Structure 1
């Protein structure tokens, strides 16, 4: 019965009626009154045909109404209209409806799973945003209350506390500016102005800008070797931001005798850039989420200083807006290597 078609059901019913009617007519002929054989066959055939027609019409109407209801439910749950099939009793229309229902249920299950995942991500994002803003806000609030309660009159206290409040306010500003930038990157509202520039020269300039911080933290940042000029076709300011974020990230998580090494190597017309460090490293379970907004591994949440928590997410969006890729390899206690690609310019050595 699994693969039987509706028209076969109707035909079997009609044939059964013909057989039963033939039996009854032969019994009537033998025991009650004589009926010619031809008349028996005509009566049985007409009865079977009539039964077939009535059953066919009613069953088709019954199935059509049920299928219309099923497909209206399916159509209501999707963005595109599903063509409601015309009933062909020769085909397995019930099986087709069952398959469509299973497909629809599977699609809804996937959609619900995605919605739950997005809802969980939104909750986590809001929690992380609140965590990032809470510290500077509470610091500013504490400094201001101290000043209002008498610290303002003490020259040794008021300037120091005002400077600390200004630092906290600046950190909040950085977080909000980075958040605004990443939102624009996500909706493609930031124009990428590509130009040919020497990425080696740009990298040297950024390394120089970190000299003071490297001396304070006892960290070394350098190129792996002496490179000739290498020209790429990209947005120079945005790529400078990628380098700045990656180098700052490596310095923040540097261990003792921290080193950050930058390498370049070519694959056909693509330039691969590596920013490697020998810092604290990242557990493998945290790597897939490393480029999420505000996502930080447990040990980094407790650090005393750091950026907005959006640096790596911004790097990812900038590189992807160039239609390129960025990836990370890391081992806990050994270090991390961030690698991104850029298209080389026709003007290159």
Structure 2
């Protein structure tokens, strides 16, 4: 509750006394005026006398009415109401003054401060709205700081990741430029290394472009009816040769077949390609990568599982953060950008789905849950745009 200061209490008491004095003087003036009217008007006096004589009850014919008493009672009721109304009005003004004072204090930079008191009636709605507004402003400021921090981290990470292969490319090309080779085989070796580093840079740029594209507010999504079984078969076929080279069998299974869902086939294909590529690169010791899709009511659950090395428990919570690498040196060696799983999370979010990870000594599984229907495609695109 709001506590008034001693000065405010004194002012409130003084205003109450002044109001009572003024009302008493007004009442006396009105009583005198009424009496003069009655005394100077014989018809009014006679009418009051007749009414007074007629209002008697009981065996003793007791009078129950006296106009002086009635007038005094009416004046007292009106006076009490006026005093209460003026004091309440003044008290509400003091409440508003305290709220304004608290707002000035917050506006001076004390953003961790909130209006501490609770009031009654509609004034409490003002207090609640002000506190909510400050919370929203603080949250917006924190979000903006986080966005700025993320941008700085993005620039730093991209610069670092691009500088390493670029340095190698320049170094080997300089060897060729300065004729610091002994044979044609050296030239081919240096140019091949530069070529591989250039491809690594190209993959980094493509991942970065894809990530920023799906992260943009209003990222376009081309929703259409897609046969998920065919899409997963195409993904597994595209990685079949690469998997065989590492002793990994890539396969897919869909129940029921065909399994139709509303999705952007290009973006959804990127999701499962990234998950399979992640399993091939980092699933050391794996013998299989299985893509399994099953329908559960209005949702489809797609599991991309491998039997390779488990992911450390402390890393699972960070897997979908951009540029996060479970093992930095291993990722650099395989050309990873740390953006693959972040792209997966962003695309799944665009499809109003979820993705989670389970990993133990037996199997590592990425579980993607998607709704079979995205609503009216035009309406959905309008909302996303």
Q: Does 1:150 align with 2:151?
A: no
Any residues of structure 2 matched to 1:152-171 within 5 Å, and which?
154-171=183-200
The question of whether the paired residues in 2 share the 8 Å contact of 1:151 and 1:158 is answered with: no
The question of whether the paired residues in 2 share the 8 Å contact of 1:74 and 1:104 is answered with: no
**Match of residue 342, structure 1, among 358, 367, 370:** 370
Give the 3-state SS of the residue equivalent to 1:329 in structure 2. strand
Aligned to 2:343: 314
Cα distance between partner residues in 2 of 1:232 and 1:15: 74
**Match of residue 262, structure 2, among 219, 227, 233:** 233
**Match of residue 212, structure 1, among 237, 241, 244:** 241
The question of whether the paired residues in 2 share the 8 Å contact of 1:326 and 1:338 is answered with: yes
Aligned to 1:172: 201
Cα distance between partner residues in 2 of 1:114 and 1:321: 20
Deviation (angstroms), 1:329:
2.4
The question of whether the paired residues in 1 share the 8 Å contact of 2:284 and 2:309 is answered with: yes
The question of whether the paired residues in 2 share the 8 Å contact of 1:282 and 1:335 is answered with: no
Q: Does 1:330 align with 2:331?
A: no
The question of whether the paired residues in 2 share the 8 Å contact of 1:128 and 1:294 is answered with: yes
Q: Summarize the Cα distance change of 1:147–1:104 in structure 2 as closer, same or farther, 3 Å threshold.
A: same
The question of whether the paired residues in 1 share the 8 Å contact of 2:301 and 2:370 is answered with: yes
The question of whether the paired residues in 2 share the 8 Å contact of 1:234 and 1:343 is answered with: no
Q: Summarize the Cα distance change of 1:190–1:65 in structure 2 as closer, same or farther, 3 Å threshold.
A: closer
Any residues of structure 2 matched to 1:144-293 within 5 Å, and which?
144-151=173-180, 154-188=183-217, 190-223=219-252, 228-293=257-322
TM-score, structure 2 as length reference: 0.62
Aligned to 1:10: 11
The question of whether the paired residues in 1 share the 8 Å contact of 2:200 and 2:335 is answered with: no
**Where does structure 2 lack aligned partners over 5 or more consecutive residues?**
19-90, 110-119, 375-385
Cα distance between partner residues in 1 of 2:332 and 2:317: 21
Deviation (angstroms), 1:174:
1.9
Q: Summarize the Cα distance change of 1:239–1:104 in structure 2 as closer, same or farther, 3 Å threshold.
A: closer
Task: Say what the alpha-carbon RMSD is for the aligned residues.
Answer: 4.1
Deviation (angstroms), 1:140:
0.5
**Where does structure 1 lack aligned partners over 5 or more consecutive residues?**
18-58, 78-89
The question of whether the paired residues in 2 share the 8 Å contact of 1:234 and 1:342 is answered with: no
Deviation (angstroms), 1:339:
1.7
Q: Work out the number of aligned pairs and report it.
A: 295
**Match of residue 132, structure 1, among 156, 161, 167:** 161
Q: Summarize the Cα distance change of 1:300–1:344 in structure 2 as closer, same or farther, 3 Å threshold.
A: farther
The question of whether the paired residues in 1 share the 8 Å contact of 2:285 and 2:309 is answered with: no
Cα distance between partner residues in 2 of 1:3 and 1:110: 30
Any residues of structure 2 matched to 1:70-149 within 5 Å, and which?
71=103, 74=106, 110=139, 113-115=142-144, 117-149=146-178
Cα distance between partner residues in 1 of 2:305 and 2:214: 26
Deviation (angstroms), 1:166:
1.7
Deviations 1:309-333 (A, max 9, x none): 22112222222222222222234x5
Deviation (angstroms), 1:258:
3.2
Any residues of structure 2 matched to 1:30-109 within 5 Å, and which?
71=103, 74=106
> 294-303 or 268-277, which moves further after superposition?
294-303
Cα distance between partner residues in 1 of 2:254 and 2:176: 52
> 277-286 or 103-112, which moves further after superposition?
103-112
Higher RCO, 1 or 2 (CA under 8 Å, sep at least 6)?
1
Deviation (angstroms), 1:225:
7.3
Aligned to 1:52: none
TM-score, structure 1 as length reference: 0.68
Aligned to 2:55: none
Give the 3-state SS of the residue equivalent to 1:256 in structure 2. coil
Q: Summarize the Cα distance change of 1:74–1:125 in structure 2 as closer, same or farther, 3 Å threshold.
A: same
Cα distance between partner residues in 2 of 1:297 and 1:207: 24
Aligned to 1:37: none
